Amino acid sequence: MAELAVAATIGSAIFGVGSALYQGAMSKDAAEAAARQDIRAGKNEFFAAQQVAKQRRLEGQLVLSRQQAAAAASGAGTAGDAPTITKIMADTDARMQYGIDSEIYAGRERQYDYIESAAARRKTGQYNFIGGILKGLGRGLDGIGDYAALDI
């Protein structure tokens, strides 16, 4: 019967160590997978912002083209001798560029937020892995203590 108690004590300690290490490793793997997903989401956010910026550029160019056509059709022209239309077109171009720059900036900021989230997830996963190692060590020492306490 004493042999059974010794085997159970040793088996319990080994199982406890293994499960703690496995839990820590799986937690780290899950955090890494979530971090990769965050990185992908950040890239997608920035790509979407680039697409919106391209669309804004096209829309702005269309507005500028219409302004130029309207000025030409009115006989006012668009050269330096027509400062009003030139100023209007310059203002339109500036607003278009501001919209493009704003969209790119916002996309980069959203991507940066995802990158920061990924870094935090990786750090949490690493801490969980280290915690699993320490928990396993504690369970192993606990098993040694239980073994030493047996009256054989």
Check pLDDT > 80 for residue 11.
Answer: yes
- pLDDT of 152 reads 64
Question: What value does the mean pLDDT take over residues 100-124?
Answer: 96
The Cα–Cα gap between 69 and 80 comes to 16
76 three-class SS:
coil
Provide the pLDDT for residue 80. 58
pLDDT-based confidence at residue 79 (cuts at 50, 70, 90)? low
Q: Please state, in angstroms and rounded to a whole number, the distance separating the CA atoms of residues 84 and 41.
A: 45
How many angstroms separate the CA atoms of 10 and 3, rounded?
A: 11
**Average pLDDT, whole number, for the chain?**
88
pLDDT higher at 150 or 133: 133
- Mean local confidence (pLDDT), 118-128: 95
Cα–Cα nearest to 27, from 111, 108, 136, 100: 136
The answer to pTM > 0.75 is: no
Tell me the C-alpha distance between 104 and 54, whole Å.
10
The answer to whether 103 and 56 are in contact (CB under 8 A) is: yes
